Structure 1
Amino acid sequence: MKKIIFAFTLFVSLLNAEVITKTNVSTANGEGYGASYDEALSKALADAVGRMNGVKLSASTFMLTSSIQDGKDRDFEKIYSDQISKQTGGRFDSYEVLKNVRTPDGYNVAVEIKKTSVSKKYKTPGLDPNNRRRLAVMPGYVSDFSFEVNGEYKSSIRVADDITRSLVTAITKTRKFTVLDRENGDAYYREKAVLSSGNAEKEELLKLGNVLGADYLLVFDLEEFSLSEGKASTITTGKASGKKASARIHYRVLAMATRQVKFSNDIAASFSVKGDHAYALAVQDIAKAVTDEIIASIYPLKISSVSGDEILIAQNLRQGDVYEVYSLGQTVIDPYTKEVVGKEETMTAKAEVTRVTPKMSYLKLVSGSAKAGDICRLVQGSNIGSPKVGTDAGGREDNVVKQTAGGGVVLPF
């Protein structure tokens, strides 16, 4: 019979990181008969070893060691424990005699052998990264050598890199994905060298070998970008203000394992930005437009709670944006592929973001009614990248969102 006993001990270090120590004790029983106690014990040990891990050993394996010991001072447990460990490559380390009965023909001995193993694993601080889908934002591709920014030419690679970093920030703020770093390899390898140098504690090495692979890759092509002194109407107010920014970006979300394109779209827009940091704001707006579309398609904003005319959403939104609230209806199944493509949605309210925190947003109902569990969609025109229902940013027919006969819409996921 085989039984496994697990014991766990947690060691909590600074910064809420943990080294988890796991002790595993495996046991197996064996029984043997022999003319002498030594012979019966050797057969019992051989039987137990075979039951433990399918290792077949003859009784003579253990008889050799016991026969050369001094009969008066023999320490059977130590002798056999050492021999078990030696003969099985360290897979077993000790034994206990459960029964020693004298029989007319000799001895009947029953034993229990044990193997104790200890393993340690490093646990990263905070929430388990495996609880969310893992996504890596890859460096963007560019077709031109430079873009015109404030009357000067700026490296297109630099602009794409800035958008990549803003995408990482925007997607991380949604708290819907485990966002993986694919930019700071030099810093990682320098720190890895420190941990491997022999100057750090041995347990620090447990941090190595835990790098996560991505479930999804976000890739994009930055086809156009410019920022000039000319003024453009703001999307939200319609008034001429600030500097004029123009951009065209094509992005795709790929499944890493299969290279399947899970989501793809184009964003082409001219919009206005204000302030002394117009370039940084333009880059952030582009990143937010891409992020909003991805989140709306995979993780539509869902209302956490409603108190009076105030709605709470567990995500950082942009103050002043207006959202339509939809109640979910029946599940919609594609008649050809039989896949679930989403649920019908019926608009029930409209709400505006009035205040935000790093992890939450508060919206005030402008019209209608809402309840916990309803989803919210950004009103067309409130975001530079918001496509019209049924079309993409270029006005072509698209299967992203479909209207139903009852006035609702159907999601693609």
Structure 2
Amino acid sequence: MNKILCYALLGMLFTLSASAKTVMESRQTSGYGSSYQEALAAALLEAVRQVRGLEIGTEKQLQMEFQQIATGSSETTTAKAGVKEDIYTRSKGWVDSYEVVEVIKPQAGKSSWEVIVLANIPKFQSDIKNDTRKSIAIMPFRFATATFAVNDQGKTTNAYQLSRRLKDRIQSEFTQSRKFSVLNRDYGEEFESETKLLSSKNVPASEAGRLGQVLGADFMVVGNIFDLSTKVERSTFYGMTETKMVDRIDLSYQVIEVATQKVMWADTVSEEFPRKKGQKNTVTLDAVASIVVSGVMDVIYPVKVMDVASKTEIYLNQGGDRVKVGDRFELFTKGRKITDPDTGMPIKVDGSRLGELSVLSVLPKYAIAELVDGEIKQVQKGAVVRLKAREGRSAPVSKEVRPTAGSSEAPIQW
């Protein structure tokens, strides 16, 4: 079964790779400089900037390369309009070709040249198309000490490894929620190595179109781990020894809007997690990751009713690790918005309680539940549901996000 799944995933990857392509976009731009070469290089640089965008370091390097190309081109001697150049290979894929539309030489009182070009810029088209979701990056949590005493024998464990495990699990759950475009901020050395390869002479010039496509994050999740320890209790009764292990964690986390560095949401997790015999501390880290993700998602994207087929077939708009079989959800009406009289900001509040749902099955993108309390005719599409207590944990507290000025109503309602 696992082999079949692996083959299916590989087939999907090959299909995606086959659909990836580089498209050509044309731009007419003007460039200015103290010489013809500088003006031509500036015009080409502007065309690239409009199509693909440029970072400061890349812009300076590319400007020098374009000036070298312009110096060796035929226009250096003719300096006139109508000249066409194919520079795909020489520009390493940044520019496919261009045509000089107009050349304006320095006039009396002016010292700069102006060159207008019509440039064809290759742009890599991602396999993931029409993705309008907000992007989010999960960063490794900082830790107060180099080691934490979370171990079966009371020994210390490397804090960095625990932080990485927690971060990876949070990232996995956000990805499976399918509500955000999750960005990878790991494997920097590996990506840098691949970038150098694409920029080298060892690959075709067409591959260079893949450069400069890394996205910036809209939001970032950061946190601090203050305590992570295991309390081991042994009790002897009639010659039999029973061992109980309880993991304790104390951490804080924040969701930050990267552009403004505003804290959109913040919370703390200070809880104890009993661990069964044979279970490793990763069980606790996975549980903490679920708490963090649920805390963020309950505020931003609460679980909602997607469709109502019957009393035993009510579709919820989230699945994966977000929802589990047997979960009980309280069902509410769609709710409404009220205005905070102090800040003037809108606050969404839940509507009246309508009943209770029990999850029957969970799939990657959605879940199916049945109505165990309430009337089916009152269940509406878009109604919010709130998770009740899971085994071994107290019921989550319904929280409302603290909205900030300028926060968008779509697709995230802060």
Bin of the TM-score, shorter chain as denominator length: 0.5 to 0.7
Aligned residue number for residue 145 of structure 2: 144
Q: 1:229, 1:243 within 8 Å by CA — same for their partners in 2?
A: yes
**Alpha-carbon contact 1:289-1:386 (below 8 Å) kept:** no
Could you tell me which of 255, 258, 262 is aligned with 1:256? 258
Partner residue of 1:84 out of 77, 81, 85: 81
Tell me the amino acid that sits aligned with residue 197 of structure 1: S
- How big is the shift at 1:241? 11
**Quick one: which amino acid aligns to residue 101 of structure 2?**
F
Matches within 5 A, 1:164-183: 164-183=167-186
Q: Please give the alpha-carbon distance, in whole angstroms, between the structure 1 residues aligned to 2:401 and 2:388.
A: 16
1:91 Cα deviation from its structure 2 partner: 3.3
Alpha-carbon distance, 1:157 to partner:
1.9
Q: Is the 8 A contact 2:17 2:127 kept in 1?
A: no
Separation in 2 of the partners of 1:147 and 1:154? 5
- The residue correspondences of 1:143-292 to structure 2 (distance < 5 A) are 143-148=144-149, 149-151=151-153, 152-227=155-230, 243-274=245-276, 276-292=278-294
Shift, 1:83, TM fit: 3.8
Out of 334, 347, 360, which is 1:341 matched to?
347
CA offsets 1:304-331 (integer angstroms, 9 cap, x no match): 1122122212322222222111112332
Partner of 1:121: 123
Write 1 or 2 for the structure with the bigger share of strand. 1
Residue identity matched to 1:17: A
TM superposition shift of 1:243 = 4.7
Question: SS of the counterpart of 2:216?
Answer: coil
Shift of 1:119: 2.0
Q: Distance in 2 between matches of 1:225 and 1:251?
A: 15
Q: For residues 352-391 of structure 1, give each alpha carbon's deviation from its aligned partner in whole angstroms, at most 9, with x where no partner exists.
A: 222112222122222124221111111145685854357x
Cα gap change, 1:400 to 1:217, in 2 (>3 Å): closer
Q: Which letter maps to 1:117?
A: A
Residue of structure 1 in register with 2:133 after alignment: 132
What do residues 200-249 of structure 1 show as CA deviations (whole Å, max 9, x unaligned)?
A: 22221111111111111111111122345559xxxxxxxx9985322122
Aligned residue in 1 for 2:327: 321
| Structure 1: runs of 5+ lacking an equivalent | 1-11, 27-80, 94-113, 232-239, 391-398, 402-411
Tell me, yes or no, if the aligned pair for 1:138 and 1:164 is still in contact at 8 Å.
yes
8 Å contact kept, 2:233–2:243 = no
- Identical pairs, percent: 22
Match of 1:14?
17
> Partners of 2:394 and 2:284 in 1: how far apart?
12
Q: Give me the whole-angstrom Cα distance separating, in 2, the residues matched to 1:253 and 1:25.
A: 41
* Count of matched residue positions in the alignment of Structure 1 and Structure 2: 301
- Cα gap change, 1:159/1:175 in structure 2, threshold over 3 Å: closer, same or farther? same
Measured at CA, do residues 257 and 400 of structure 1 come closer, stay the same or move farther in structure 2, by a change above 3 Å? closer
Q: Which of 353, 356, 364 lines up with 1:358 in the alignment?
A: 364
Calculate the TM-score normalised by the size of structure 2.
0.65
Q: What is the TM-score when the length of structure 1 is the normalising length? A: 0.65
Match for residue 388 of structure 2? 379
Output the CA distance in 1 between the equivalents of 2:206 and 2:352.
Answer: 55
8 Å contact kept, 1:20–1:120: yes
Structure 1 match to 2:54: none
